[in-house]
Chain A
Amino acid sequence: MATVTRPSPKEVWDWLSHVPDPEIPVISLTDLGIIRDVAWDDDTLVVTVTPTYSGCPATAVINLDIEKALRERGIEKLKLKRQISPAWTTDWISEAGRDKLRAYGIAPPIDGTAADGRLMGRVNRMTGGNLTVPCPRCGSTHTTKVSQFGSTPCKASYRCDDCLEPFDYFKCI
């Protein structure tokens, strides 16, 4: 039986860092923080992935992209494992990922501002119920929330009141 050299998990992580998110292709799956583990189980490579939002239609595409990328690298036995706990949080988006989002025109999440259901306290903390999200284009903090939900479940719609550019905010979860 031929001994095939197995790539180390570190190497696999590196490959996955080049797989783009299907909906926001400027950031990779590792930037997004959804790859939870890479490990060998005997001769099978097990990649553990956590979904962003439970209904996110990108989930199936992400699994396929992972499979495609790893098959191209010669991985034959592959298992994708879904893990929902601990639940994904935008805190796991890397610093590099945040910079890439900003450069792409999406305001990155502001940590610690996730909705928690404590409505009245939250409204008081944020002037007029609006979280101050700096415009990714001109940097102005003079912005207005247009809608709690944007082009995907993970984003909210904002408008810059200075440069008038509409933009997406990757909301905190």
Chain B
Amino acid sequence: MALRDNPFGEVRLPLLLMAATSVVVAALVALILLFADRRETVQTQAYGVTRQVTDKVSAPVGAVLSLPIRWAGDGANFVGGYFFAVSENRRLKAELRDAARWRESAVALADTNRRYKALLGLSFEPPVPMVTGQAISDARGPFANSRLVNAGQAKGVRIGNPVMSENGLVGRIVGVTESASRVLLLTDAASRTPVMIERTNARAILLGDGGDNPKLAYLRGSEAVAQNDRILTSGDGGLLPRGLPVGRAVKSLDGTWRVVLSSDAGPIDYVRVLLFQDFGQLVNTDKLDHPSLPPGPPTVSAPSP
């Protein structure tokens, strides 16, 4: 019997139809999943169990799989460091001279600040505790910019915690498991960060779009920002502490203001997760819930007739 004569010879048209049906069914499932997704919210319960399990599994697997690539990258950087040692030395010397000037200024300002605080009796926010984690995996496409770090609930990390590298703000925690957490980078299309321009104190929202330089949106006034102005977190909304370094303002080709991120100055291997929640953590909520009422006015007994 020739192969063309067997029953499978007639199977082509139905198979094409079945394949097309399979595509439609799979696409419908994907659509339902898409509209049920709520990944950019800061609510803990929005980070589903599936994502938690994936992060929990992929953290150790990714760490092991990436070891050879890390070693190769370190080797290449070692060779690069050897060849660029002279220019790096010049740059570091210039930076050190600059830092020495700032150190003198900082010492004087710290002394002035201490005296003002003592005179005014001001109490300030306590220092924010932090934990260190290593970046295990990195998504850097146009639709998702996130990182998995090996610090989780066991170290006190919670959703919403800001994440910094040694150079500046990197993003915030959007998902957390016992041993790993996912960081939504400032460049992600879902990222919105309240910032301020240090020179003018003007407020803006830093809007990620998947590119290297997020946009400054909702800027008010024509002179609010200038080239190379330093951008810091504003602390508005209480999600991030005020004053974390974010980057420098630059004007893009399309005329919009964008930010060259400080965290881009070096590799983001190790990050610090600031265990900052919101302003509510700075007050004693128990005390607020059970206020001790001041003594009322003395009761005056009615005069006897």
Chain A bound to chain B: no
Residue ranges of A at the interface with B (Cβ–Cβ < 8 Å)? none
